[in-house]
Structure 1
Amino acid sequence: METKIRKIGNSLGVTLPKQLIEELHLKNGDTLTIEKQEGNIKLKPIDPEFEQWAEAYRQANVDYKEVLKELAK
């Protein structure tokens, strides 16, 4: 798939092809992360529910680190 860089106000942007939008189940207002990897751009949708779950998981690992170590024995 190809798209062109376009001027949007004082910025530059790209439009996503309809096929890609449908395949990724994207909708207006969704948030994407942008990463630069080895000279390439990677766009990744953010799932707010998953982000909340992931943060709770990270926090539980910090809060209960010693308990989890004991349970793993």
Structure 2
Amino acid sequence: MIETKIRKVGNSAVMTLTAEMLAILDAKEGDTLFVVRGDDGSLKVLAHDPTLADALAAAEVVMDENRDLLQALA
């Protein structure tokens, strides 16, 4: 487990990513990251993946088009 702090910068709360975290993510300053919420309420940080971005965009469209049906199934 890697520990980090949340700090205030202007009107935002910022989490600093250490060099170790960036290495694990294979990311660098300026890269895009995705934060995905798990079913258990956890958050997962993922490096930018164009395939994932396309899949998430498609899922958003499907969920928007079928909101009532998905609500009934929930």
- TM-score after normalising by structure 2: 0.57
Q: Which runs of 5 or more structure 1 residues have no equivalent in the other structure?
A: 59-73
Counterpart of 2:43 in structure 1 is 41
- Aligned pair count reads 54
- Structure 1 residue runs of 4 or more that deviate by more than 3 Å after TM superposition: none
Which of structures 1 and 2 has the bigger CA Rg?
1
Q: Is the partner of 2:22 in helix, strand or coil?
A: helix
RMSD (Å) for aligned C-alpha atoms: 2.3
Q: What is the rounded CA distance, in whole Å, between the counterparts of 1:16 and 1:28 in structure 2?
A: 10
Counterpart of 1:25 in structure 2 is 26
Identity of aligned residues (%): 39
1:4-23 aligned at under 5 Å gives the runs 4-23=5-24
Q: Which runs of 5 or more structure 2 residues have no equivalent in the other structure?
A: 59-74
